[in-house]
Structure 1
């Protein structure tokens, strides 16, 4: 059996405990990655776990060989999902005979939060202080990794998850992680990084060594440090800030210049580290992650002198609180016409001390329950968003990401909410 397609009624018995698959709008919840599909499941007590089911070709013995060593990393900050079980046939024979595609799948903790990719794609605003705090926390973790001889080897905006705007950072998709004594990947499976975080020389040859996170780590830290600037946010390429073909070497672009100038305004040392790493032709010539950590710590000490970012509608300090800040319409059946495809709700709250007049606008493929509301101090109102069947569909793939799904204008602050939905094509 090459695929695992559970229904909402599917149950799994693992080590005497029953697990059920969670749903989102009637469909089994799953996230699709490069090598696997990860399902959110829960036990009889309601605790959430992740079940990572690998695609054919990614279920090799190396997962088993490194599993015990990966588990030993679970006490390191940021590696909670290293606490895991491999569903090997030798131990879970009955389960694998019933569901063959589960062989060598991984049961591990479910990490709550949002990936950095969500902020890039939806252009969610950060204050200068929030950008600095997140960069400081991430730099600390990455420098600690490198200092202990550990490298994630596939750092990207999708593989960093945190709560709020920087609390409890966790790394996911750690199967390619490097540490002394680990079984290395075969030459044809050498980690080559992710688009937007990997220059051509890494994509060509791959990289699996203790310094492997230097390039991607530098890009992530630079993105985060610059994110409080409105022009930087508006220039994001989507779930990555840079396009894949503009990263590294002697290439420069408008986005490169924006980031470089923003870092220069913060600290000449940060700009130097960024340019050094960007132009490197081998990983040893990239700035160490400890160097980034020290430079950001120094920036924190002089934070009172930080330059003010350019103002934009979404960067104004609002008296409105909006939740959630990203619109997720879930899975949409493109075969159904003449009806509402899906619906979600958002809550708008006035956290200020004066009455707020709010105007809501949207594209023609979203319908709103209200287009104008008034909120007194402390008042809130739920707004329904209906995805209509004339919504855009992606030319490739199943996911459609949008930047302006809802624009909120008011005398107390302005918000622009982006989001996504998944298109269900044909028959499953």
Structure 2
């Protein structure tokens, strides 16, 4: 990621100027928290506003998605829920933040949201920070409230872990309106009824992901938080125990390879919760740890109810060497909680599937001859069903028949015991034997003799045989009723499957209608954008025309000036050439005149010389001729 801001560097988003904050533990380093998808920087407004400090989440290139705009619009409706303050967000887009993106390309589809002050739960675990009982219970209750409110609306974070939970409670003595003791972050992969499954879904974070319940394609449903949320709640509840803090692995309490495996850390944690908060809460953790499917894990409403009843002033119970808290928590009976508002006598499909599995287990126990254990399972299922439910009424008949069978079997065992030799009977022990002996002794004392006791026993054999015959008859009727029960269960399952199919068809129809509406909206938006761009182009053309005419006019003037300048230069050149020519002519004329003058002078001189020569020749000759 090439985006590297500096402390105090100014940035303007949405018309407001911010500066990047400084890390409290690293001077001159911007306050940034790095996550799986990107880095979150702290933004401090230059002018204090009601919106307060902001967080700027800059995504890595492979997580920059244009659908972040649509996602943020949908998440905004959940910002008022406790713990989901980060759903109040604004996305940086070219349409709204063009100048900013032209300068910072890496801010494409970055998200601006409220800054939440406080350490993460991972920070608490890494630092092994000491928290008191009251603080731990308060944090666990707050997290359970957040997750329960989300679950009731079909929401799930889908990547719960220590780094994604911030604890404002640990830096504030009181929480203002709109804040929670626990806040969730990194909500981009959140599940909601009005959201579509992301292209990439996290498979869970190390130390909090279930190896049995996770899928290679990732978890994305309204059940996705149940395992990781339960582990986080257990960590918070156990953190008041020094032994738990000392046993923590690192960024999470459990080593990733230990999750849902027999390990010492689980034994330490579940024992600590059992001692500090009671067997019921420890049983919730044990049921999650041993679970095979997310929808079988306790709901967060169940966790919240148990935590609201927990006593923060209760002293920790010391382990009894005769008791194993881990095993006791693992076999704790589940608490019966409501699963939503249903019509009278109805049971939600998830609970019905669980009850059917338990009934099947009871049948297997019954087939193996373990009638008492089967009766306990039947009764436990019957206690959870509404009294007017048809399955509950069938179970009433099944339990009555099973009780009769158990009573008949006990009578037969009693008869066999009396028919055995004395030495064999003496060797046999157990509660039933003691009970029969006590009854026999009492009968002897009352009636005054042993013979009368044996005669009464002999007289009761006929009644025992009748009871055995009745038990056989009841067993046949029981088989018929079980068959009817199976048919009723099959009918209910078929009805539920048909109902789910109808709901799925409705959901598909709603999804198709929504997609069609979104496509039409996208078409309208594209048409509006095209019209807007066309209008902007026309406006720019109109705005450019005066400037173009002015430029053309200026060009014409410049050309005219250039032509005039060139003409003046040509005229000047012509004048200069003419002047030079005239000067040359004058010079030539002058030279010619001078030459003519010189020539004339030479001619005159020559003539004078010739005249003088002639004169000198003539005079001597004349004199000579005169002498003669």
Aligned match of 1:244: 256
Specify which of 45, 48, 63 is matched with residue 47 of structure 2: 45
Sort the Cα spacing of 1:278 and 1:205 in 2 relative to 1 into closer, same or farther, 3 A.
farther
Residue 143 (structure 2) pairs with residue 162 (structure 1): no
Residue 129 (structure 2) pairs with residue 124 (structure 1): yes
| C-alpha separation in 2, matches of 1:243 and 1:63 | 33
Secondary structure at the residue paired with 2:111?
Answer: strand
Q: CA deviation at 1:270?
A: 1.4
| C-alpha separation in 2, matches of 1:304 and 1:111 | 31
Residue 194 (structure 2) pairs with residue 195 (structure 1): no
- Cα deviation digits, residues 150-173 of structure 1 (max 9, x gap): 111111111111234496221111
Aligned match of 1:30: 32
Residue 283 (structure 2) pairs with residue 272 (structure 1): yes
Quick one: higher RCO (CA 8 Å, sep 6+), 1 or 2? Answer: 1
- Contact 1:81-1:172 within 8 A present in 2 as well: yes
Specify which of 164, 178, 183 is matched with residue 196 of structure 2: 183
- Contact 2:169-2:182 within 8 A present in 1 as well: no
- Cα deviation digits, residues 81-114 of structure 1 (max 9, x gap): 1111000223212211221110110001100111
Residue 295 (structure 2) pairs with residue 293 (structure 1): no
- Cα deviation digits, residues 277-300 of structure 1 (max 9, x gap): 122232112211111111112223
| C-alpha separation in 2, matches of 1:114 and 1:198 | 22
Aligned match of 1:172: 185
Sort the Cα spacing of 1:226 and 1:9 in 2 relative to 1 into closer, same or farther, 3 A.
closer
- Contact 1:3-1:55 within 8 A present in 2 as well: no
Residue 150 (structure 2) pairs with residue 151 (structure 1): no
Aligned match of 1:14: 13
TM-score (norm 1): 0.67
- Contact 1:113-1:162 within 8 A present in 2 as well: yes
Q: CA deviation at 1:54?
A: 0.3
Aligned match of 2:222: 210
| C-alpha separation in 2, matches of 1:293 and 1:306 | 21
Aligned match of 1:263: 273
Residue 228 (structure 2) pairs with residue 228 (structure 1): no
Sort the Cα spacing of 1:126 and 1:309 in 2 relative to 1 into closer, same or farther, 3 A.
farther
- Contact 2:8-2:21 within 8 A present in 1 as well: no
TM-score (norm 2): 0.46
With 172-181 and 3-12 compared, the bigger mean Cα shift is at 3-12
Aligned match of 2:141: 136
Alignment of 1:325-404 (within 5 A): none
Q: CA deviation at 1:71?
A: 1.0
Specify which of 65, 68, 72 is matched with residue 70 of structure 2: 65
Sort the Cα spacing of 1:191 and 1:83 in 2 relative to 1 into closer, same or farther, 3 A.
same
- Contact 2:116-2:168 within 8 A present in 1 as well: no
**Unaligned regions of 5+ residues in structure 1, if any?**
311-428
Higher strand share: 1
For the pair shown, the structure with the greater C-alpha radius of gyration is: 2
- Contact 1:74-1:83 within 8 A present in 2 as well: yes
Aligned match of 1:377: none
Aligned pairs, how many? Answer: 303
Secondary structure at the residue paired with 1:290?
Answer: helix
Aligned match of 1:387: none
